[in-house]
Amino acid sequence: MAKKGKKQTTDKQTTGKAKHTKSRILYWIAAVVILIPVLLLGYIYLSAKESAGTPTVGSRFDNSLDPAITEEQLTKVKDALKFDGAENVEVNLKSATLRITIDLDDKAGSSKVKSVLNDAYDKVVKILPVKTYFTNQKDVRMYDLDIHVYNFIPEGDDTSGWVYKEKVKNASAKKAVTDTLSSARNKKQANKLLEEQKKDK
């Protein structure tokens, strides 16, 4: 009988040791699983802290805009864009876009706005050829050309007589696109939206 008691005690000790070993292994696995992301986050944090305050030097237009539009060419463009009835002409070159805005006399009609828009485009591309400056090459991104011509900017809901046209030549597009911003492409949808806006007010 004494032998049986001894055997039971030994079995209990073995089972206890096995349980103790298993729990230790599980604790180590859990510690490793938690430690890896903590160390990773710590490394990212320290790396970010080290580089904080250091400016990023470079340009998103590296290896692009070749040939570049010069100040001399911009002056020529400004000098060429003189029209009868033009109250103001602005020429800006920002973020690889040559943007031209022409404000005509308030009484200028649709045909006048269209004529000035096309004439302005022709004058610009005569100084800055489309294939050279406004068309992407194999590995070189080039400029976009964006021309706006309008007679006035309406105040309030009254848009009668307002004409606003835009001509855009994206460097990635084959041809320039003309759009009339003062008239909706889908008049029914535009009127519906206007009615909804009036109700909300």
**Amino acid, single-letter form, for residue 32:** V
Task: Mark residue 67 as left, alpha or beta (left: phi above 0; alpha: psi -120 to 50; beta: remaining).
Answer: beta
State residue 183's pLDDT score.
Answer: 86
Rounded to whole angstroms, what are the CA distances from 168 to 80, 99, 172, 178?
Answer: 19, 9, 11, 6
168 vs 158, higher pLDDT:
168
Whether residue 1 is predicted with pLDDT greater than 50 in this model: the reply is: no
What residue ranges do the domains of the chain occupy? 12-43, 71-184
| 147 strand-pairing partners | 100, 167
Total residue count of the chain as it appears in this document: 201
Interval 145-173 mean pLDDT:
92
CB atoms within 10 A of CB 171: 20
Strands 144-150 and 164-169: antiparallel
Interval 91-108 mean pLDDT:
95
CATH class name, domain 71-184:
alpha beta
Whether pTM > 0.75 for this model: the answer is no
Encode pLDDT of 149-161 as tens digits: 999 988 877 888 9
User: Which of the residue ranges 29-43, 47-61, 125-139 would you say has the lowest mean pLDDT?
Assistant: 47-61
Encode pLDDT of 101-114 as tens digits: 999 999 999 999 99
Axis crossing angle, helix 110-127 with helix 71-80, rounded to the nearest 10: 150
Q: Phi/psi of residue 174, each to 5°? A: -80, -35
Whether residue 3 is predicted with pLDDT greater than 70 in this model: the reply is: no
Distance of alpha carbon 178 from alpha carbon 122, whole angstroms: 13
